[in-house]
């Protein structure tokens, strides 16, 4: 199937492909019911207790269902091309069918005892995603999560495991006078050095347990360090860009790192991570003796859709590893932008050179977050966590006597994932969707390329409404942001006008966009250079912008785009005249 042959891909904003979908849906139901009937076909048939209660039961279900369907009339129409709000849009037909087919099985990926087919599909779907982002599926590992937040937590869990092992070894070596190197150095020593030292001193993992802050707790280790080394326990830090998603402060909170342990790196004037600032923070961590649990870069930032220079971050960390012996975990939060990797192999790829280089650097990361429930057009809840090699997948062993022991680490399960019960609907949806829309430029990638082109058309249309529309650079992906300001407007006045446009949008159900505030603390360069364009005064601490995510699949149609652009222009013009 080609991208242009989209009739079987999406239902349509008005159910235009409803018949095609109904036929597929009826077939799915028929086969599902047949499967039930045939599985244990010699068993006695179940009959409801009495025909009367049976019928009244059905009526009750019908009536409750009507009520629910009525309520859903008011749900946010995320399927519609008029919805340009958050990172969500309509889901594809194959993804929906894959999801629904598995839903009837209610398979639980916690264990292969509860999902034998689901587990196999999970491995296949993870391989498809790994291949899409350039990883070799053979050594790669990963699993599905309920979303990007959980995938980010999975990365912290594993980075912490690794750091804790290396640090615990350092403590043992110092305690036994085998080393006088700072603990910071041991916390980044790398597996080869770790294994060599363990072997040299005849150590096994249980020997290090008394020095593990994960097992003993940071407080106990803090006391221990003061007693034995006359130094503070080296509390780890997370180095994140100022454009980070709020899941990162959440992770620090959940993993007990504390707010102070989240060190922010500056952004450039486009809102992308500055490698120079990152280097400064790594040097600072070294001076302060604060081990770096991980460095995060973002591919597809939540607010602006920008792609951090992942390749430059990888170069920097390679340099620290090769020239200073410091192994630092690099996580790519590609919850939004990871699917753009599917566009890389085609000649028609319209990503910028910088974005291409960043996306091609994925195999150099320690771990990656992807969200099929965003640009994969897969139903919620479907995120994915990937690592390029099994070493980075290691976590502490958790024992549950009533569940199958993991004999084959290739299958993720209850003991290797943060979440226990996990739906198999995500893998099934990704798997079926990739059969129809391959995860390369012949399928999904071509589709996303179109989305980038449409975003550019929107950019032109919106910016042409008035000279007071101040577009932000949105060249990396398909998120558009703009502020409203006349020449010389102070920032607070510009924010007031931008808020008026948003308030007008919100009054009408015709179009949905969102608003965000870019703080000078995190987006200093971008805010200053944007406000300088209209010669304004920086009299407040953030820049308010209207934000639109141009990912809806129905925007590939000229008539629809025209209609929405006209509406957008009218709405902005009206708000500006108020
Ligand atoms: C960059 C980034 N990371 C992580 C997340 C969290 O994903 P989820 O909402 O699926 O938990 C998001 C969500 O928008 C995101 O944009």
Cβ of residue 87 lying under 6 Å from some atom of ligand 1: yes
Task: Say whether both 162 and 306 belong to one domain.
Answer: yes
- Mutate-to-test residue for ligand 1 from 245, 267, 306, 372, highest number of ligand atoms within 8 A of CB: 245
| Cα 196 from Cα 33, distance rounded (Å) | 58
At residue 63, the pLDDT reads: 95
Which burial class, exposed, middle or buried, applies to 508 when counting CB atoms under 10 A from its CB (0-12, 13-18, 19+)? exposed
Atom number, ligand 1, closest to the C-alpha of residue 151: 11
- Mutate-to-test residue for ligand 1 from 298, 300, 336, 516, highest number of ligand atoms within 8 A of CB: 336
| Cα 512 from Cα 81, distance rounded (Å) | 9
At residue 395, the pLDDT reads: 84
Tell me if 561 is assigned to some domain: yes
What is the 147 CA–ligand 1 centroid distance (Å)?
A: 7
Tell me if 262 is assigned to some domain: yes
Triad 265, 266, 268: Cα angle to 5°? 140
What is the 93 CA–ligand 1 centroid distance (Å)?
A: 23
| Cα 352 from Cα 330, distance rounded (Å) | 23
Cβ of residue 298 lying under 6 Å from some atom of ligand 1: yes
Task: Say whether both 366 and 449 belong to one domain.
Answer: no
What is the 444 CA–ligand 1 centroid distance (Å)?
A: 20
Cβ of residue 245 lying under 6 Å from some atom of ligand 1: yes
Tell me if 52 is assigned to some domain: no
Residue where one domain finishes, among candidates 343, 370, 397: 370
**3 state DSSP class of 429:** helix
Cβ of residue 244 lying under 6 Å from some atom of ligand 1: no
Task: Say whether both 162 and 245 belong to one domain.
Answer: yes
What is the 570 CA–ligand 1 centroid distance (Å)?
A: 32
Atom number, ligand 1, closest to the C-alpha of residue 87: 14
At residue 558, the pLDDT reads: 87
Tell me if 426 is assigned to some domain: no
Cβ of residue 367 lying under 6 Å from some atom of ligand 1: no
Tell me if 157 is assigned to some domain: yes
Query: What is the number of structural domains in the chain?
Result: 2
Q: In what order do the strands lie in the sheet with 479-484?
A: 469-471, 479-484, 542-549, 514-519
Instruction: For residue 482, give the nearest of 421, 415, 569 by alpha carbon.
Output: 569
Tell me if 124 is assigned to some domain: no
Task: Say whether both 204 and 324 belong to one domain.
Answer: yes
Atom number, ligand 1, closest to the C-alpha of residue 381: 10
At residue 22, the pLDDT reads: 96
| Cα 241 from Cα 258, distance rounded (Å) | 17
Residues 515, 546: contact at Cβ < 8 Å?
yes
Which two tokens mark 242? 């100022």
How would you write the pLDDT of the chain (578 residues) with one tens digit per residue? 454 566 679 999 999 999 999 999 999 999 999 999 999 999 998 877 666 666 777 889 999 999 999 999 999 999 999 999 999 999 999 999 999 999 999 999 988 788 899 999 999 999 999 999 999 999 999 999 999 999 999 999 999 999 999 999 999 999 999 999 999 999 999 999 999 999 999 999 999 999 999 999 989 999 999 999 877 889 999 999 999 888 999 999 999 998 899 999 999 999 999 999 999 999 999 999 999 999 999 999 999 999 999 999 999 999 999 999 999 999 999 999 999 999 999 787 889 999 999 999 999 999 999 999 999 999 999 999 999 998 899 887 665 555 555 545 566 666 789 999 999 999 999 999 999 999 999 999 999 999 999 999 999 988 888 999 999 987 899 999 999 999 999 999 999 999 998 988 888 778 899 999 999 999 999 999 999 999 999 999 999 999 999 999 999 888 988 888 888 888 788 777 77
Atom number, ligand 1, closest to the C-alpha of residue 86: 14
What is the 301 CA–ligand 1 centroid distance (Å)?
A: 9
Atom number, ligand 1, closest to the C-alpha of residue 337: 1
What is the 473 CA–ligand 1 centroid distance (Å)?
A: 21
Beta bridge partners of 368: 332, 386
Residue where one domain finishes, among candidates 370, 393, 411: 370
Cβ of residue 302 lying under 6 Å from some atom of ligand 1: yes
What is the 149 CA–ligand 1 centroid distance (Å)?
A: 6
What is the 128 CA–ligand 1 centroid distance (Å)?
A: 21
Cis peptide leading into residue 34 (ω within 30°) = no
At residue 504, the pLDDT reads: 85
Cβ of residue 426 lying under 6 Å from some atom of ligand 1: no
Tell me if 269 is assigned to some domain: yes
* Tokens 């994925």 -> residue: 362
What is the 251 CA–ligand 1 centroid distance (Å)?
A: 13
Cβ of residue 281 lying under 6 Å from some atom of ligand 1: no
Cβ of residue 154 lying under 6 Å from some atom of ligand 1: no
Q: Are strands 542-549 and 479-484 parallel, antiparallel or unpaired?
A: antiparallel
Atom number, ligand 1, closest to the C-alpha of residue 148: 7
Task: Say whether both 366 and 448 belong to one domain.
Answer: no
| Residue numbers of the domain that contains 470 | 444-577
Instruction: For residue 547, give the nearest of 509, 507, 499 by alpha carbon.
Output: 499
At residue 1, the pLDDT reads: 47
- Mutate-to-test residue for ligand 1 from 78, 87, 147, 423, highest number of ligand atoms within 8 A of CB: 147
Cβ of residue 247 lying under 6 Å from some atom of ligand 1: yes
Cβ of residue 333 lying under 6 Å from some atom of ligand 1: yes
Task: Say whether both 268 and 176 belong to one domain.
Answer: yes
CATH of the domain at 305: 3.40.640
The 10s digit of each residue's pLDDT in 230-285 is 778 899 999 999 998 889 999 999 999 988 999 999 999 999 999 999 999 999 99
Cβ of residue 383 lying under 6 Å from some atom of ligand 1: yes
- Mutate-to-test residue for ligand 1 from 85, 249, 296, 335, highest number of ligand atoms within 8 A of CB: 335
Task: Say whether both 220 and 354 belong to one domain.
Answer: yes
Tell me if 364 is assigned to some domain: yes
Which residue's CA is the closest to the ligand 1 atom numbered 8? Answer: 148
- Mutate-to-test residue for ligand 1 from 304, 371, 423, highest number of ligand atoms within 8 A of CB: 371
State the sign of the Cα–Cα–Cα–Cα dihedral 100, 106, 109, 110: positive
Residue where one domain finishes, among candidates 370, 404, 431: 370
| Cα 403 from Cα 207, distance rounded (Å) | 28
Task: Say whether both 216 and 331 belong to one domain.
Answer: yes
Task: Say whether both 362 and 502 belong to one domain.
Answer: no
Which residue's CA is the closest to the ligand 1 atom numbered 14? Answer: 302
Which residue's CA is the closest to the ligand 1 atom numbered 7? Answer: 148
Task: Say whether both 174 and 310 belong to one domain.
Answer: yes
What is the 420 CA–ligand 1 centroid distance (Å)?
A: 20
The 10s digit of each residue's pLDDT in 283-294 is 999 999 999 999
Task: Say whether both 362 and 452 belong to one domain.
Answer: no
What is the 33 CA–ligand 1 centroid distance (Å)?
A: 37
Atom number, ligand 1, closest to the C-alpha of residue 371: 10
* Tokens 């991570």 -> residue: 273
Task: Say whether both 357 and 462 belong to one domain.
Answer: no
CATH of the domain at 492: 3.90.1150.170
């Amino acid at each position: 199937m080609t991208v242009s042959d989209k009739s079987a891909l999406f239902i349509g904003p008005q159910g235009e492909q409803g018949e095609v979908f109904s036929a597929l849906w009826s077939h799915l139901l028929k086969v599902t019911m047949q499967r039930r009937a045939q599985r244990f076909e010699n068993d006695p048939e179940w009959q409801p207790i009495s025909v009367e209660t049976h019928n009244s039961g059905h009526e009750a279900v019908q009536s409750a269902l009507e009520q629910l369907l009525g309520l859903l009339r008011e749900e946010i129409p995320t399927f519609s091309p008029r919805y340009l709000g958050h990172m969500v849009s309509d889901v594809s037909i194959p993804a929906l069918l894959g999801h629904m087919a598995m839903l009837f099985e209610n398979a639980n990926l916690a264990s292969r005892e509860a999902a034998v087919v689901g587990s196999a599909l999970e491995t296949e779907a993870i391989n498809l995603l790994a291949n899409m982002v350039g990883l070799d599926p053979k050594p790669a590992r990963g699993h599905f999560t309920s979303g990007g937040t959980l995938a980010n937590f999975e990365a912290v869990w594993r980075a912490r495991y690794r750091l804790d092992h290396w640090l615990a070894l350092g403590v043992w070596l110092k305690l036994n006078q085998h080393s006088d190197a700072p603990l910071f150095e041991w916390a980044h020593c790398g597996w080869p050095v770790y294994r060599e030292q363990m072997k040299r001193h005849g150590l096994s993992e249980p020997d290090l347990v008394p020095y593990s802050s994960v097992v003993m707790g940071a407080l106990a280790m803090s006391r221990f360090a003061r007693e034995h080394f006359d130094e503070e326990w080296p509390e780890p830090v997370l180095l994140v860009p100022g454009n980070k998603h709020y899941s990162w402060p959440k992770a620090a909170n959940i993993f007990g790192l504390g707010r102070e342990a989240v060190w922010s790196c500056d952004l450039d004037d486009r809102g992308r991570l500055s490698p120079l600032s990152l280097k400064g923070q790594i040097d600072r961590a070294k001076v302060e003796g604060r081990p770096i649990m991980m460095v995060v870069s973002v591919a597809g930032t939540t607010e602006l859709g920008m792609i951090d220079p992942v390749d430059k971050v990888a170069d920097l960390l390679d340099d620290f590893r090769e020239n200073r012996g410091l192994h630092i975990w690099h996580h790519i939060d590609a919850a939004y932008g990871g699917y753009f990797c599917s566009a890389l192999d085609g000649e028609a790829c319209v990503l910028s050179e910088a974005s291409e280089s960043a996306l091609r650097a994925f195999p150099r990361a320690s771990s990656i977050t992807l969200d099929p429930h965003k640009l994969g057009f897969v139903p919620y809840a479907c995120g994915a966590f990937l690592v390029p090699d099994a070493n980075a997948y290691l976590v502490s062993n958790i024992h549950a006597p009533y569940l199958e022991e993991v004999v084959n680490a290739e299958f993720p399960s209850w003991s290797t994932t943060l979440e226990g019960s996990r739906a198999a609907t995500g893998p099934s949806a990704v798997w079926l969707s990739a059969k129809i829309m391959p995860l390369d430029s012949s399928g999904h990638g071509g589709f996303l390329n179109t989305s980038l082109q449409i975003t550019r058309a929107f950019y032109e249309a919106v910016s042409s409404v008035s000279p007071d529309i101040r577009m932000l650079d949105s060249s990396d992906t398909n998120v558009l942001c703009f502020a409203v300001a006349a020449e010389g407007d102070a920032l607070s006045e510009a924010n007031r006008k931008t808020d008026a446009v948003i308030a007008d949008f919100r009054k009408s159900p015709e179009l949905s966009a969102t608003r965000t505030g870019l703080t000078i603390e995190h987006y200093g360069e971008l805010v200053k250079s944007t406000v300088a364009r209209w010669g304004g005064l920086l009299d407040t601490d953030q820049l308010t912008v209207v934000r639109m995510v141009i990912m809806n699949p129905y925007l590939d149609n000229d008539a629809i785009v025209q209609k929405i652009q006209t509406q957008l222009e009218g709405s902005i013009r009206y708000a500006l005249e108020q």
